[in-house]
Amino acid sequence: MTTGEIIDGKAFAAEVRARVAEGVAAFRAKAARAPGLAVVLVGEDPASAVYVRSKGKATREAGMESFAHRLPAEASQDDLIALVERLNTDGAVDGILVQLPLPKQIDERAVIAAIAPDKDVDGFHPENAGRLASGLDGFVPCTPLGCLMMLKDRLGDLSGLDAVVIGRSNIVGKPMAQLLLGESCTVTIAHSRTRNLPAVIGRADIIVAAVGRPQMIKGDWIKPGATVIDVGINRVPAEEEGKTRLVGDVDFAGALPHVAAITPVPGGVGPMTIAVLLRNTLVAAHRHAGLPFEVEGL
């Protein structure tokens, strides 16, 4: 039995980061400064702290300036917004990322809205969401943009393909659908309450799974030759007692005989998120410096 190709997200993300580093070097030569990314962490959530450290390391490796800001878990919403407003006016900062989730006393929507749209490299600000929906230039959330880059690298022209996005979050599902519409795909947004989900998925040339339910999408639902991007990261019990392992939203082993290509979990979409964050920061720096963004492959 033949099996599909496994899309190596780590390798592809490394290529993107290398192109970003080349773009950073060229930017520094023209602007006489490095692009700057500020990352804000509130509290001591262990997973968030790991993400912040990895983002800082990747930023420095690309030749950018990394600015880390930490606030205590009991910080108020006013404290956080005051910090964001200072970063909005800091000329050394091109991109601002506030690590989510935030403590319960802080309204995430208010904080995101406080970030200057031209520094919103996460692409979550309502203005950037509106620009994406309207087909205008703006910042796009990193994970869906990374998914699109992998799809175009694998498939080339996506025009006319039938795409199903499973999941309707503001972070992945909705922007992913908008990006695919922008590539002239025929797009369906499905979710956990979609009736006859196997039939909906079964007609798709492209499947982007971002519903957050472990191995919900079964292999025999998938049309032979489809390309699957699995955004899900779910921790489930491992065979060894007391251990856990990561799985996606797609039954990987069951899907592999059906697909043309599929991203694994881990090692698929995840590495692309930070790579695209660096790409967005480089774009922001060019815009702030009044320079055209002309980095090949980005």
- Candidate list 94, 120, 122, 205, residue with the active-site label: 122
Half-sphere exposure of 19 (CA within 13 A, CB side): 16
Q: Which of 94, 99, 119, 251 is catalytic?
A: 99
Active site residue 218: no
In the residue annotation, 30 being an active-site residue is answered as: no
13 contacts 265 by C-beta, under 8 angstroms = no
- Cα atoms in the 13 Å half-sphere on the side-chain side of 185: 28
Q: What angle do CA 34, 100, 102 make, to 5 degrees?
A: 125
User: Which residue's entry shows tokens 């039938």?
Assistant: 162
- With beta carbons less than 8 A apart as the criterion, state whether 153 and 129 touch: no
Question: Coil, helix or strand for 127?
Answer: helix
Which amino acid makes up residue 48? S
Q: Terminus-to-terminus CA distance in the chain, angstroms?
A: 37
Catalytic residue from among 55, 120, 230, 251: 55
CA distance 188 to 215: 20
Q: Is 55 marked active-site?
A: yes
How distant, in Å, are the alpha carbons of 20, 66, 189, 271 from that of 23?
A: 5, 17, 35, 19
Q: What residue type is 90 in one-letter code?
A: D
Strands 244-247 and 234-237: antiparallel
DSSP state, 223? P
Cα–Cα distance for residue pair 168/59, rounded to 1 Å? 30
Contacting residues for 156 by C-beta, under 8 A, at least 6 apart: none
Q: Which helix (H) or strand (E) holds 114?
A: helix 108-114
- Residues acting as catalytic residues: 55, 99, 122
